[in-house]
Amino acid sequence: MTELKVLILDDNNLTARAIANVAEFIGLSAKITSDFQSFLELINDWSPQYLIIDLIMPDMDGVEVLGELGRMQIDAQLIITSGAGQQLLHAAARSAGAHGLNVLGVLPKPFNPKAFRDLINSESINTADNKFGQQLRAENQANTLTVNELEEAINAGEIYLVYQPKVSCISGTLTGLEALARWQHAEKGFISPEKFIPLAEQNDLIDKLTLQVFEQALPFLNYLQEADPSLKIQNRGLLLSVNISAASLKNLDLFKQIEMLCEAHNIKPDQLILELTETAAMDDPVMSLDILTRLRLRGFRLSIDDFGTGFSSMLALVRMPFSEVKVDKTFVMTSADSRESRLVIKAIIELAHSLNMQVAAEGIEDNAALDLLRKMGCDQAQGYFIGRPMLPEAFIDWSKNTSKHIDLQRLKRLHGLGLLDSEPEHRYDRLTKLCTRLFDVEISLISLIDEDRQWIKSSQGFSQRQTERSVAFCNQTIAQEDIFVISDTLNDKHYAENIMVTSAPYIRFYAGCPIRASSGEKLGALCLKHPSPRSFSDRDKQLLKQLTEMVEEEIDYNPLLDEDNLTGLMNREAFERRAQKLLNIFVPYQASITMYYFDVNNYKRISHAHGISAGDEALIHFSRILTEIFTDTELVSRLVDDEFVVLSVCEQSENRLEQLAEAVKNYNANVSPHLNIEYTVGTASSHAMDNIDLQSLYMYADTDLYEHKSD
């Protein structure tokens, strides 16, 4: 059994002794020194597997020590400690990595025993006795690796693939996988890619190796999608990421061969993400721009890997036609402790999204990092916490188990919201009515998918409250990360025989957007259906997505916070939040927007003469009349006291106001004269305004109101 040893370089004997005690408690042998020369002698004579170095030393600072260790090519695991602050610690860690050192982590002072145990945990201690020596021997043997051995391995098909999953940061759903080359030598054991990839690049073997990666990966991708129809049926399918060497970038014949492989395996080029390092992209910027543009024109997606680590990253991102940015794992793995890393990640995400690119983050090793990335708006996640690189069989098992877990979490969240088997509600119905009118479709639904069925919370043009989950189009929508569209169901083999297509309502067109809970789980879909084929533009997709966000806001509706206590209408805050969303959606479309501003003129008089309860009764009845008249797509709210407002996304309608006047007249005819309701209304229409915003609508409607009062 190999004894695991830790050597500590620290001039503070108390701290060093505390670290040594913890190390010895978890099974390591520990030695301490405060002298650099003694430190070097112990490294040579004692061969420790772990080194702990204090940055601030009296004779030689820690950065000089790191530089010297780098020159010596020390391969022990390194922990950097200091009381100088997190930013300096992480800067030193990056410096150590740049020197080729194996940085295990940083250890801030004052010393935290748990933090140290987390870095060197008991599980790795218990299993490392033989593995460490084996790894060192394998690395030493790999140093003597020959070109002939590598070429023979490639020709014999000894290079195999493992796959690491990429998931949606929001839902955890599998969105893609990265193919990674591995080599198990018959005599030398495991050969690291860091050893054989550079050897292949230097000896004109990399193109052959890359093609072999695609020859293995594309059939596996196809198998995955055929095994799980929900993956195949996505608009784009699963995405496969493959690293492309800078040495291969000029070989357009290689990419033509990859295209032919895609065609042979029924894989679309836009399901492939070609990952290039920043160095590869910027080595010859003009040539790279030409080639990368041609690859994008052929449909391939392009990702800039390890983004944020080089000086030319920003230029590469802005100039080159990338579709994805991959945040370097150094920032992700230090995000919990480093404010600098968090700022860099946030800046990368915002920049990439502003350029219409997806963002993937690698190196996620715990839920805290994933949660941080989710809150920052990162799109894809990859790392050991999600899934390690796996052989094909293990990847399939992981995918099945993960899908089951996600669906269980989804169902738990759905049942907890109390939406199933509930009565229709106006706040949902107004949105489906709005969808029907805006998209000119016969059917619009807000549907929720439970274990066995589709429960329809709100519908227009469809009378059923539930259907079987197996026939529900929305069942496939919740498997998507984005909008799911079927332009013509009869041309889609998955739906041509669906009972909803072959019999009433004879659906020929479908578009659905997943509805999510605030915690990310997909609950169901806001969907559109029509009995004739349709196209669905990017602008349509954007509108449907925005309306889905309004459905999600209604799911988060809190009566205690959003309702007026007296009338049950929306209060001012809830109204303005929803009104602003409507304006954000419809102003760019130059849709007609009308505000009706009401004042119950005699509320104070009724309250003063007959008591507050009588005045409140008049307001309650007026609010009920408003909701009866403005029933379709309007927001109805009590702003304050005797003031009410309605926001309608439609042409100003005198007919509505006439109906309201008639309804109030009928009410007044059936109550005592002293309880009659008297009101004034002011209107504001977007057609009469240059700048359309909520404050302007208020101002125009209020002005019109007082003009009517003075008449």
Show the 3-state SS of 159-219.
EEEEEEEEEECCCCCEEEEEEEEEEEECCCEEECHHHHHHHHHHCCCHHHHHHHHHHHHHH
Place of tokens 């010297």: 68
Distance CA 138, CA 192 (A): 9
Superfamily, domain 157-401: EAL domain (3.20.20.450)
| Mean pLDDT in residue range 217-237 | 73
* Per-residue pLDDT reduced to its tens digit, 402-424: 888 888 889 999 999 999 999 88
Opening angle at CA 694, ends 693 and 699, nearest 5: 100
| Mean pLDDT in residue range 92-119 | 80
Task: Report the pLDDT value the prediction gives residue 123, as an integer from 0 to 100.
Answer: 37
Going by C-alpha positions, the residue among 120, 111, 221 that lies closest to residue 176 is 221
Cβ contact 8:33 at 8 Å:
yes
Domain boundaries, the chain: 5-133, 157-401, 417-555, 559-710
Q: In this model, does residue 491 exceed pLDDT 80?
A: yes
Task: Report the pLDDT value the prediction gives residue 128, as an integer from 0 to 100.
Answer: 37
Superfamily, domain 417-555: GAF domain (3.30.450.40)
Distance CA 557, CA 530 (A): 30
Distance CA 374, CA 207 (A): 37
Cβ contact 24:5 at 8 Å:
no
| Mean pLDDT in residue range 481-501 | 92
Task: Report the pLDDT value the prediction gives residue 18, as an integer from 0 to 100.
Answer: 82
Task: Report the pLDDT value the prediction gives residue 97, as an integer from 0 to 100.
Answer: 80
Distance CA 310, CA 277 (A): 10
Task: Report the pLDDT value the prediction gives residue 23, as an integer from 0 to 100.
Answer: 84
Distance CA 658, CA 470 (A): 48
Task: Report the pLDDT value the prediction gives residue 660, as an integer from 0 to 100.
Answer: 95
* Per-residue pLDDT reduced to its tens digit, 60-91: 777 888 888 888 889 899 999 887 777 778 77
Burial annotation 203-216 (CB, 10 A radius, 16+ → b, else e):
eebbbebbbbbbbb
Distance CA 451, CA 430 (A): 27
Q: In this model, does residue 1 exceed pLDDT 60?
A: no
Cβ contact 623:662 at 8 Å:
no
Helix (H, G, I), strand (E, B) or coil at 613: helix
- Residues 6 or more apart whose Cβ sits within 8 Å of residue 393: none
| Mean pLDDT in residue range 646-655 | 75
Task: Report the pLDDT value the prediction gives residue 134, as an integer from 0 to 100.
Answer: 43
Distance of CA 458 to the CA centre of its chain: 28
Q: Looking at 180-184, 319-323, 607-611, which range is the least confident one? A: 319-323
**Cα distances (Å, whole numbers) of residue 677 to 435, 574, 602, 674:** 34, 26, 7, 9
Q: In this model, does residue 338 exceed pLDDT 90?
A: no
**Better pLDDT: 322 or 690:** 322
* Per-residue pLDDT reduced to its tens digit, 128-184: 333 433 443 444 444 578 899 999 999 999 999 999 999 999 888 889 999 999 998
Distance CA 370, CA 194 (A): 27
Superfamily, domain 559-710: Reverse transcriptase/Diguanylate cyclase domain (3.30.70.270)
Distance CA 520, CA 582 (A): 23
Distance CA 182, CA 184 (A): 7
| Residue 481 DSSP label | S
Q: In this model, does residue 677 exceed pLDDT 90?
A: yes
Cis peptide before 229 (omega within 30 of 0): no
Task: Report the pLDDT value the prediction gives residue 591, as an integer from 0 to 100.
Answer: 76
Q: How far apart are the first and last CA of the chain?
A: 99
Question: Which residue type occupies 550?
Answer: M
- Name the maximum alpha-carbon separation found in the chain: 105
* Per-residue pLDDT reduced to its tens digit, 241-293: 999 988 888 888 999 999 999 999 989 999 999 998 765 655 666 667 888 88
Distance of CA 515 to the CA centre of its chain: 14
Burial classification of residue 144, based on how many CB atoms lie within 10 Å of its CB (0-12 exposed, 13-18 middle, 19 or more buried): exposed
Cβ contact 509:503 at 8 Å:
no
Task: Report the pLDDT value the prediction gives residue 544, as an integer from 0 to 100.
Answer: 96
What is the Rg, in whole angstroms, of the alpha carbon atoms belonging to the chain? 32
Distance CA 679, CA 629 (A): 15
Lookup: tokens for 331:
């920032």
| Mean pLDDT in residue range 106-110 | 80
Strands 189-191 and 174-185: what pairing?
A: antiparallel
Q: In this model, does residue 691 exceed pLDDT 70?
A: yes
| Residue 4 DSSP label | P
Q: Looking at 494-503, 563-572, 629-638, which range is the least confident one? A: 629-638
Read off the pLDDT band of 104 (50, 70, 90).
Answer: confident
Cβ contact 96:103 at 8 Å:
yes
Task: Report the pLDDT value the prediction gives residue 286, as an integer from 0 to 100.
Answer: 64
Lookup: tokens for 428:
């949902």
Task: Report the pLDDT value the prediction gives residue 230, as an integer from 0 to 100.
Answer: 57
Distance CA 521, CA 517 (A): 5
Q: In this model, does residue 342 exceed pLDDT 80?
A: yes
DSSP letter string, 335-401: TTT-HHHHHHHHHHHHHHHHTT-EEEE----SHHHHHHHHHHT--EE-STTT---B-HHHHHHHHHH
* Per-residue pLDDT reduced to its tens digit, 550-598: 999 999 888 888 999 999 999 999 999 999 988 888 887 777 889 999 9
| Mean pLDDT in residue range 193-218 | 93
Distance CA 628, CA 467 (A): 30
The CB density around residue 693, as the number of other CB atoms within 10 Å, is 13
Task: Report the pLDDT value the prediction gives residue 284, as an integer from 0 to 100.
Answer: 64
| Mean pLDDT in residue range 413-437 | 91
Question: Which residue type occupies 465?
Answer: R
Helix (H, G, I), strand (E, B) or coil at 121: coil
Length of the chain: 711
Going by C-alpha positions, the residue among 469, 430, 427, 462 that lies closest to residue 444 is 462
DSSP letter string, 427-466: HHHHHHHHHHHHHT-SEEEEEEE-SSEEEEEEEES---SE
DSSP letter string, 124-164: HHHHHHHHHHHHHHHHHHHTT--HHHHHHHHHTT-EEEEEE
Distance CA 523, CA 276 (A): 37
- Residues 6 or more apart whose Cβ sits within 8 Å of residue 425: 457, 458
**Better pLDDT: 82 or 636:** 636
**Better pLDDT: 599 or 689:** 599
Task: Report the pLDDT value the prediction gives residue 589, as an integer from 0 to 100.
Answer: 75
The CATH architecture to which 5-133 belongs is 3-Layer(aba) Sandwich (3.40)
Read off the pLDDT band of 125 (50, 70, 90).
Answer: very low
Task: Report the pLDDT value the prediction gives residue 2, as an integer from 0 to 100.
Answer: 59
Strands 358-361 and 380-381: what pairing?
A: parallel
**Cα distances (Å, whole numbers) of residue 123 to 2, 128, 169, 581:** 15, 8, 28, 51
Task: Report the pLDDT value the prediction gives residue 155, as an integer from 0 to 100.
Answer: 93
